[in-house]
Structure 1
Amino acid sequence: MGCGPLKILTYLCYSIFFVPVFLFLFFLGIIKVVVFSPFVCLIIAFGVTGVAVGLCPTHLFWSTFSVARTKKFGPILKCLLILLVPVQTALYVVVGTIGSVVMGLGYGFIWPVMETFRAISKEGVPWYLRVVYCFTDGTWTCVQGACTIVRDFADFSFHSYFSVVDELLESNGEEPIELEVLRFAGCFLSATLGILVDLIVITAIVLYKAPILLFKGWYRLIQDLIGREGPFLETVCVPFAGFWILLWPIVVVLGIIAGVLSSVGFGCYAAVVAYQENSTKRGLLYVIASVSVFDEYTNDLLYLREGSCFPSQTKISRTDGFQCVDASHTRTAGSV
């Protein structure tokens, strides 16, 4: 009991000292952002875009050549893949360009601020060196990090891409993969009904559980803030965790959008199930099972009642490991 007032005084002094130090470090990080983020964004944006555009003709030619020469695919599948190669290459350039701009803006803002807070919390370093590091960290190292991102992307686009595509030319005598055109009608029916059903039902599930995600998220973040746990454990993460609390409604909105978009993927996968199982009925049963799986997954995510109120079909399986078993509410690794 004798330590109670001392602890209260310590926390009070810490709080009074923390606010001006936090504001100073935050604005110092913002100054670094203003100075260095334009260079970082330009390096990443132009570097990644240049690599993507520069390798685009090579990717287009070598992908087409590899698909045409491979013995792993049948004639119909080869023709389809060759027609899709330009689309894949164009998406690669577009996604690379947009992603480079987003990456440049995010990295140019987050890294200088994080390095500024990280410098003051370094252990085993004298206080005067910590002050020096607050001004130096997140400056030139941020530019070097941008160059590293461009170099890693270039290595991935050149070495990793060609190593994966070259595997198409390796033949071990296996039977070629061919499309069964007669299955397309059932696949189209399964995908169409899957998108219609999943889009409506999953959207309803997401909208119903969005308020729960909002208030439970706020409760957990505020609880971690009081107990200095989770994202508030490290001093360097405190400002970003504070922003996390303020921006949590935006995260919930993004979660709603992601849930609605995922319903399209669930519905389209019904065509894959119908084709793999050579059964339109199984594709339609998967549509029902996918709703149950999504509902069960969101219940687990929000720590709600286990299982789902939607019916699960018995022994609806896929070749990638997905399986729904009625009344057991089992979800294997393939559904995660």
Structure 2
Amino acid sequence: MDIPSGFPATLWSFLSFLPFFILLFLLGIIKGAIFCPVVWLVITIGNSAVIFGLWPAHVIWTYVCVVRAKRLGPNLKAVLCIGLPVPLILWPLVGLTGSILVGLGYGLFTPLVATFEAIGEEHENKFVDCILKGTWSTVKGSFTVVRDVTDTCFHSYFSLMDDLREQPPKNGSPLDIKLLELPGSLLVGLLGVIVDVPMIVLIALWKSPYMLLKGWHRLVHDLIGREGPFMETVCVPFAGLAILLWPLVVIAAVLSAFVSSFFLGFYAAVVVYQESSIKLGLAYVVSALALFDEYANDFLYMREGSCFPRPKYRSQNMPLSGTLSRRYSLSKEGSNGKSGSISPGNEMPGPQRSKSLKKSIQEMKTMQMWDHLFESYERYGRNLVGDNIIKLSDIEEWNHTAKCKILSVGLPAYSILQNLLCSAKHDSAGFRFTDGTEITAMNRTGDRLFEWFFEPLMIIKEQIKAEQLEESEELYLSKLVLLSGFPDRMKAWQNGGIPPPDDVRRAELEALSRRLQGIAASISIMPTFRRRFQNVVRNLHPVAVESVSSSVHSQGSIAESNISEVGSKSRNRISRLFSQKSGGRKEHSSDMTMQERNRYNDEAV
């Protein structure tokens, strides 16, 4: 559409937008007020019942797994057993508080956002969609939230603790701590909490007005001028909603700073223990303030640096992390005169005009990544079930116990491997699904959980490209990731995969399979994994039943043909024997005794 130019056109665009936006906002608030109590009760009561009901089992099993963990040394076990009551007692309180807040937020804002989303959808009757959208779907979503919390507390937690209990120690020696350095570490850690928490909160409060005003300025500028991602008509209501909700974003940022300040402050204890120096731990307490201040300036695109001192708290130089390292590299490029850099103090670069907000949101949604991933699971699962590699007994075992390794770990690892092989063959810059969808550094989500899996997968992809696997080695690697631990089934699967004769090459493939299985096992403990994967298994079950029935039918046909063939041969043989035995007799065959007939039948058989 045409972007309004000039003050009269801009003013008219803004005034014509206000009634439209106010009506949508009031409708969303009314729907939220109606359904918020129901959603709040479902989430609060459901999550609280799960958390408090499983709390005794969590306490007992946590201590059992810590005591029996092979990777932990005796000193570390003793310290953990002493300190575990604190998080175990806080967990129900945190869970209850989080359930109350999530229930209120989900019940109020989901119908509100859904009302604005209905305007952008292509339906004939948008008025009805605005009224109905976000009503019953919000109630069903509240039950989904309770289901995910249940899966996390009942399946993911126990799987995580079982891994802790069963994993062997790295390098043959368990992880342990030095007890003599604990008092100094804990003392400096508590000092870091006392100093850093109030100072970090003050820094966040000091910068929050700037964040509020700058955000409002940018959003209003984009709204009035129809610039950036708000240039499309369907996206304009989201701009107004973002303007109204921006103070909540600022409040959430301050609360996040408050929560993270405890971890930043107590990290001084880790520095003291690692460096064996109380002096360096105290230096970190001061340096943490500068680090947070610089990160806040980087996030708000303010001038680099900090008014706080930043003493050296490591005996060796440590690489900068994440955003700060990228910011410093960009500023360094800017000082060298390279184009496309961001110099200190510059404003945040504007979004591309050619990209709509709807497209941007679709590119950055974590749920879309999950959708492609689970579609890949189902696609490869159908092929494997059809080839009788994944059996009906595996599916039934997972439905009863959810502990079938071939399904819960093997199938995701196999699917990820096929996508990595596709990415390597197409020389993709990121992670390419076999259906053509590609995730790169430009369109991937900024979710930290996704980053934990994306970077290791990119490393494995580069390793696969460097190895230059042959086809037989790729097929053998596919066997390993799917059926590792089941040698008989690996041998029965004749897919053309042959283990390489070189022992070093074989060990490299086995190491790759273990890493892929480890990533798949980590993905399987994610909160929404079991619910989504259960749908995949449910869709695979009729395919497995059909495969078994067709296999039984074909085997029955073969057996029936074999039996008929053997029967005809036996009848012919009996006839020949009968004619030979009775040929010299003058009487007919009817004169033979029953014993002679039975003897002839036995000889024929």
| TM-score normalised per structure 1 | 0.79
| Residue 295 of structure 1: aligned partner | 293
Q: Distance in 2 between matches of 1:104 and 1:243?
A: 21
- CA RMSD across the alignment: 3.5
Q: Distance in 2 between matches of 1:188 and 1:144?
A: 46
CA offsets 1:220-239 (integer angstroms, 9 cap, x no match): 23323323457856234234
Greater shift, 80-89 or 293-302, is seen at 80-89
CA offsets 1:96-152 (integer angstroms, 9 cap, x no match): 1111111111111111121122112213x22xx212212221111111111111111
Q: Distance in 2 between matches of 1:132 and 1:303?
A: 43
Q: Distance in 2 between matches of 1:193 and 1:137?
A: 51
1:132 lines up with 2:138 in the alignment: no
Q: CA deviation at 1:165?
A: 0.5
| Residue 280 of structure 1: aligned partner | 278
Runs of 4+ in 1 over 6 A off after TM superposition: 3-7, 317-321
Cα 1:157–1:320 change in 2 (3 A) is farther
Q: Is the 8 A contact 1:231 1:241 kept in 2?
A: no
Q: Distance in 1 between matches of 2:10 and 2:306?
A: 49
| Residue 33 of structure 1: aligned partner | 32
| Residue 153 of structure 1: aligned partner | 149
Cα 1:275–1:96 change in 2 (3 A) is same
Q: Distance in 2 between matches of 1:74 and 1:207?
A: 43
1:217 lines up with 2:215 in the alignment: yes
Q: Distance in 2 between matches of 1:168 and 1:207?
A: 40
SS of the equivalent of 2:291 reads: helix
Q: Distance in 1 between matches of 2:208 and 2:281?
A: 29
| Residue 184 of structure 1: aligned partner | 182
Q: Distance in 2 between matches of 1:35 and 1:50?
A: 24
The 5 Å alignment of 1:147-296 reads: 147-173=143-169, 174-195=172-193, 197-198=195-196, 202=200, 205-206=203-204, 208-228=206-226, 234-244=235-245, 248=247, 252=250, 255=253, 259=257, 262-296=260-294
Q: Distance in 2 between matches of 1:298 and 1:67?
A: 38
Q: Which amino acid aligns with 1:219?
A: H
Q: Which amino acid aligns with 1:177?
A: L
Q: Is the 8 A contact 1:121 1:236 kept in 2?
A: no
Q: Distance in 2 between matches of 1:140 and 1:254?
A: 28
| Residue 109 of structure 1: aligned partner | 108
Cα 1:290–1:309 change in 2 (3 A) is same
Cα 1:9–1:207 change in 2 (3 A) is closer
Of structures 1 and 2, the larger Rg is shown by 2
Cα 1:146–1:251 change in 2 (3 A) is closer
Q: Which amino acid aligns with 2:158?
A: F
Cα 1:167–1:225 change in 2 (3 A) is same
Greater shift, 218-227 or 260-269, is seen at 260-269
Q: CA deviation at 1:164?
A: 0.8
Q: CA deviation at 1:192?
A: 4.7
Q: CA deviation at 1:256?
A: 5.1
Q: Is the 8 A contact 2:281 2:313 kept in 1?
A: no
Q: Distance in 2 between matches of 1:5 and 1:256?
A: 38
| Residue 144 of structure 1: aligned partner | 140
Q: Distance in 1 between matches of 2:107 and 2:316?
A: 43
Structure 1 unmatched ranges of 5 or more: 324-328
Q: CA deviation at 1:88?
A: 2.6
Determine which structure has greater relative contact order: mean sequence separation of CA pairs < 8 Å that are 6+ residues apart, divided by chain length. Answer: 1
Q: CA deviation at 1:7?
A: 11
Q: Is the 8 A contact 2:283 2:313 kept in 1?
A: no
Paired residues, number:
318
Q: Distance in 1 between matches of 2:178 and 2:64?
A: 24
Q: Is the 8 A contact 1:273 1:318 kept in 2?
A: no
| Residue 326 of structure 1: aligned partner | none
CA offsets 1:271-291 (integer angstroms, 9 cap, x no match): 110112222222122223223
Q: Which amino acid aligns with 1:244?
A: L
Q: Distance in 2 between matches of 1:101 and 1:111?
A: 15
SS of the equivalent of 1:316 reads: coil
Greater shift, 292-301 or 198-207, is seen at 198-207
Q: Which amino acid aligns with 2:27?
A: L
Q: Distance in 1 between matches of 2:6 and 2:149?
A: 54
Q: Distance in 1 between matches of 2:187 and 2:164?
A: 31
Q: Which amino acid aligns with 1:172?
A: P
CA offsets 1:26-50 (integer angstroms, 9 cap, x no match): 2322332232221111111111111
Percent of aligned pairs sharing the same letter: 42
SS of the equivalent of 1:179 reads: coil
Q: Is the 8 A contact 1:231 1:238 kept in 2?
A: no
Greater shift, 167-176 or 314-323, is seen at 314-323
Q: Distance in 2 between matches of 1:10 and 1:198?
A: 47
Cα 1:118–1:149 change in 2 (3 A) is same
Q: CA deviation at 1:258?
A: 5.1
Q: Which amino acid aligns with 1:170?
A: E
SS of the equivalent of 1:134 reads: helix
Q: Distance in 2 between matches of 1:136 and 1:119?
A: 9
Cα 1:155–1:73 change in 2 (3 A) is same
Cα 1:146–1:74 change in 2 (3 A) is same
| TM-score normalised per structure 2 | 0.47
